Structure 1
Amino acid sequence: MSNPLQIVDISLVDAATAEELLNAATSQGFLFVEGHDFEQSEVDHLFELSRQFFELPSEYKQQYSRSNSNHGYVDYGGENLDPTTQKLGDPKEGLNFSGLDFLTGLTEEDIPQWFKDVPERHELVVSTIKKMYQLSIKILRILAIGLKIEDTNETKGSEWFASKYDPSKASGSTFRLLHYPGQKSLNPEAVIRAGAHTDYGSMTLLFQKEHQEGLEIYSPVSKGWEAVPYVSPNTAKYPGKAPPIVVNIGDQLSYWSAGLLRSTIHRVKFPKAVQETGQDRLSIVFFSHPNDDALLTPFPSPLTKDIKGRGANKDTVAITAKQHLDKRLAATYK
């Protein structure tokens, strides 16, 4: 499978890296990043943990059903990302960890007791949440360099994004485990496993497994659906590290940049090979959101000052990150 996306090495925070990252974010809106700090062993462990959780009895998982704060278990059909095509909801299940404190990696709300029964399980989740947050901030700092965000009275341009991601303040950021059952095991006619949508936050980080492909983007470049492959780890340069991580721009970054950064439509559609084998698909996702009270007003930059339009958010007045998220969640879970 060919790869339509750039692979950007983010080990260095400099102008050259910023240019590569910005090029990908303004063209496809999706890219891969390598040079991160995730080990192959810990990502393998995460996927095994996810598999074991979703194999638990449905009655147990439903005890922790999603709350109004977007925290908890989401059963099959509970989420509908594209109501125009998915009348019965998306044939997948997920577990959300929301209400996150990135200083501790803990959630404000309770998590399934299954994770607490074995301390290593809970420790892995906590460690991953903190590392995902740190990685998202690093990417935002690199983007700020490429976007030439200007200094203001409140903050330096390079810290414009980071200043809106206080790790101790409330945000919509969510760590999520997802399970898409194989086509032969659930609703065989449903080729689409997650309907076409854009992501609600600022940025999404995604781990996917080999032979469990399915992510597709509606490419702003080719104007058609393109499959996103699994990319093997660069073991020569980064021995022991996990594969490149999929990164995509969400609505809030698109709005902050007046649409310069692409919040690209994407979906999960099982490819023919996966349809034939009946292989399940697991993915591990971190949805990065700024603090709830962050205003979605465009940042000061010579790259965006002459752009006409308001990016992903079409409201005529500025809204906060929480207001935007609440609106999107209401449409998804109604």
Structure 2
Amino acid sequence: MSGNPLKIVDVSNIDQATGDEIFKAANTQGFLFIEGHNFEAEEVEELFKLSKEFFELPLDYKMKHLIDQTNHGYTNYNGENLDPSIQKKGDPKEAFNFAQLNLINGDTVKDYPTWFTEDPKKEKIIRNAITKLNELNLRILKLLAIGLKIEDDEVQGENWFDDKYKPDKPSGTTFRLLHYPGQKKVDPESVIRAGAHTDYGSITLLFQQEGQEGLEIYSPVSKSWEAVPFVENNEAKFPGKSPPIIVNIADQLSYWTAGLLKSTIHRVKFPAKVQATGQDRYSIVYFSHPNDDTKLLPVPSPLTKDIKGRGANNAKEIITARQHLDKRLASTYNFY
């Protein structure tokens, strides 16, 4: 499919119309773009610059901060395997995860590498991104609650997710820097850079750059792979803001809503023009998760209550968000 397969939603306002728009996109494609966010173009450019500088550090330095069971740290090339049926050696990319987060101030239970803390500006860039992405995540959750028409005797519907995403409580929420080396720097047969997968948490927020496309979704609508393009900012409407941010529903939120919200399979596959130029791809991702102790009970929505045999509506035992995440991490990294 040519063009942009995803809806672009303005999230400036928290109201029924916007909630309905986001719900429709989440219920059909599982992916969308959002504009009307609070990210300036300059601060996102600084993030990408910082990410590039980190991945250019010597490998022996990065390897001192290897990822562990906490999901915090550096993943070397082929260290993550999102689709073992395709990538026998693992995905040809590298990443750094900031996990075990305090979302009030962007701090981590695990230490930042000294490369980020030696210059207060670097650390501030990361911390600000984490806290602002959390605010944006909570805004999207409010809109989804409105779209789901959540009904609860104890809390106003749009606030239903709030006490399940307390910013100072442990969660699997992770901020991730990613680097996919250009085609000339890895096995030329490695067209797939991140195998087909779904995300583990509730909502994923993704920044990508112009000329570094590669994200593809397996559309639940067309039943085919569709490329997600770079979309420019509407400067007339949002002067100085960064381009629209990609949002996708992940496994926990799909499970919570009995599959009504789609956790869509996606991958990174370098398009022909990127393969030809050898252009590297950098992306920045925020994986939102509910607090670890959150029980994944069915969401109290009239839209989901009659869905039988799926997700939380079909659970023989109630699991927590942490239990759900641990199962996925174990299969990806072979920690356990």
TM-score tier by shorter-chain length is over 0.9
1:320 paired residue number: 320
Where does structure 1 differ by over 6 angstroms across 4 or more consecutive aligned residues?
none
Q: Deviations over 1:183-235 (max 9, x none)?
A: 11011111100000000000000000000000000000000000000000110
The equivalences for 1:29-108 within 5 A come to 29-108=30-109
Q: Are the equivalent residues in 1 in contact too, given 2:67–2:75 (CA < 8 A)?
A: yes
Matched ranges for 1:188-207 at <5 A: 188-207=188-207
Distance 1:313 1:64, change over 3 A: farther
| Partner SS state of residue 300, structure 1 | coil
Question: Structure 1 residue 311: deviation in Å?
Answer: 3.1
Residue 19 of structure 2 corresponds to: 18
Deviations 1:49-93 (A, max 9, x none): 000000000000001111210000000011000111110000000
**Residues 46 and 124, structure 1, Cα contact 8 Å, conserved in 2:** yes
Quote how far apart the aligned CAs of 1:118 are: 1.0
Q: SS in structure 1 opposite 2:24?
A: helix
Distance 1:218 1:311 in 2: 20
What TM-score, normalized by structure 1, do the two folds share? 0.98
Q: Secondary structure at the match of 2:247?
A: strand
Hey, what does 1:332 align to over in structure 2? 332
- Cα distance in 2 between the residues matched to 1:190 and 1:104: 39
Q: How much does 1:256 deviate?
A: 1.0
RMSD: 1.2
Does the Cα contact within 8 Å between 2:30 and 2:263 map onto a contact in 1? yes
Per-residue CA deviation, residues 165-189 of structure 1 (Å, 9 max, x unaligned), is 0111000000000000011101111
Letter in 2 for 1:52: E
Whole-angstrom CA distance in 2 between matches of 1:312 and 1:225: 28
Following the alignment from structure 1 to structure 2, what is the Cα–Cα distance between the partners of residues 247 and 6? 10
Aligned residue for 1:217?
217
Structure 2 CA distance for partners of 1:250 and 1:314, relative to 1, 3 Å? farther
Amino acid at match of 2:69: N
Q: Distance in 1 between matches of 2:142 and 2:235?
A: 26
- 2:222 alignment partner, SS class: coil
Which amino acid is the alignment partner of residue 97 of structure 1?
A: F
Determine if contact 1:263/1:312 at 8 Å carries over to the other structure.
no
Which amino acid is 1:223 matched to? K
5+ long unaligned stretches in structure 1: none
Secondary structure of the residue aligned to 1:286 is strand
Amino acid corresponding to residue 283 of structure 1 in structure 2: S
Distance 1:202 1:30 in 2: 12
Hey, what does 1:8 align to over in structure 2? 9
Whether 1:232 and 2:232 are equivalent positions in the alignment is yes
- Matches of 1:211 and 1:16 in 2, distance apart? 33
Partner of residue 183, structure 2: 183
SS of equivalent to 1:142: helix
Mapped contact 2:308–2:314 kept (Cα < 8 A)? no
- Alpha-carbon displacement from aligned partner over 1:84-122 (angstroms, at most 9, x marks no partner): 111000000000000100111111111111111111000
Give the residue type in structure 2 aligned to 1:124: I
SS in structure 1 at match of 2:97: strand
Unaligned stretches of 5+ in structure 2?
A: none
Partner residue, 2:262? 262
Indicate conservation of the 8 Å contact 2:257/2:312, yes or no. Answer: no
Task: Give distance in 1, aligned partners of 2:84 and 2:316.
Answer: 25
In 2, distance between residues paired with 1:227 and 1:176? 22
Contact 1:216–1:269 under 8 Å retained in 2? yes
Q: Once the two structures are superposed, what CA deviation does each residue of 1:107-160 show, in whole Å capped at 9, x if it has no partner?
A: 11111111111110000100000000000000000110110000233x322111
Q: How far apart in 1 are the matches of 2:312 and 2:27?
A: 13
CA–CA distance in 1 between the matches of 2:50 and 2:316? 44
Q: Describe the SS at the equivalent of 2:65.
A: coil
Which letter does structure 2 place at the counterpart of 1:237? K
Is residue 95–residue 176 contact of structure 1 (8 Å, CA) maintained in 2? yes
Q: Match for 1:251: what amino acid?
A: D
Find the aligned partners of 2:314 and 2:91 in 1 and give their Cα distance: 26
State the distance in 2 between where 1:315 and 1:193 align. 34
Task: From the superposition, tell whether residues 313 and 126 of structure 1 become closer, same or farther in structure 2 (CA, over 3 Å).
Answer: farther
CA positional deviation for 1:298: 1.2
SS at match of 2:206: strand
1:315 deviation in Å? 5.5
